[in-house]
Chain A
Amino acid sequence: SQTIHQWPATLVQPVGSPLSLECTVEGTSNPNLYWYRQAAGRGLQLLFYSVGIGQISSEVPQNLSASRPQDRQFILSSKKLLLSDSGFYLCAEQGNYGYTFGSGTRLTVV
């Protein structure tokens, strides 16, 4: 079975500061990986997905970016955070039947 590691669990950052969220996957090779954002009371918004090292597809144009430097590592970044970047960020791996999600990072931009 797959295990998704995400950290940190909670993060408070000032507007204009940089961001780096890391996700690592155990238990599978060449996984399809995803970054989602969940705003309070709303559904999951797909931000990026990756089918392999160095391959990133962006779903929503914004000041966020993603990278996949290793097979089991997926990173979400920003050079300058906006207030609207606040939310619950989830990394996920697509298995045969559905996603396995990480425990998420709650980001508050102040």
Chain B
Amino acid sequence: QKEVEQDPGPLSVPEGAIVSLNCTYSNSAFQYFMWYRQYSRKGPELLMYTYSSGNKEDGRFTAQVDKSSKYISLFIRDSQPSDSATYLCAMRTGGFKTIFGAGTRLFVKA
């Protein structure tokens, strides 16, 4: 079993839709949870950062962490074609290593 599971997609939605991206994990010691966005042929960029359980909102993006279920989510409201990218979840304990999901490819159609 992988430490972090993420559906690779692709996920295709119409412009304006609400997008839900998810990851599950097995290591209960993870405390820091991140979402990265990666455009084609570019390095990932940090989108959201959450410590422990709870919700965090930043503009059209909301990150949720449910440590009891070992489940994290990223919601994108009013999705735009410019949101088309691969979204990677990532998590770590307090140490140096971050574990990434495989990434979900998202296509937002105009």
Contacts and interface: CB of A to CB of B under 8 A. Distances in A.
A44 B4 CA distance: 12
B42 A32 contact: no
Interface in B63-97: 88, 90, 96-97
A78 interface: no
Counting chain A CB atoms within 10 Å of each CB, the highest count among B34, B42, B43 belongs to B43
A41 B9 CA distance: 10
A87 interface: no
A80 B67 CA distance: 44
A44 B99 CA distance: 8
Contact of B41 (A94, A98, A106): A106
Contacts, number: 54
Nearest to B43: A101
B96 A98 contact: no
Contact of B100 (A4, A44, A94): A44
Given A41-B8, A98-B36, 5 more contacts: A4-B43, A43-B101, A49-B97, A99-B36, A102-B43
10 contacts: A4-B43, A43-B4, A49-B96, A51-B96, A57-B96, A90-B43, A98-B36, A98-B46, A101-B43, A106-B41
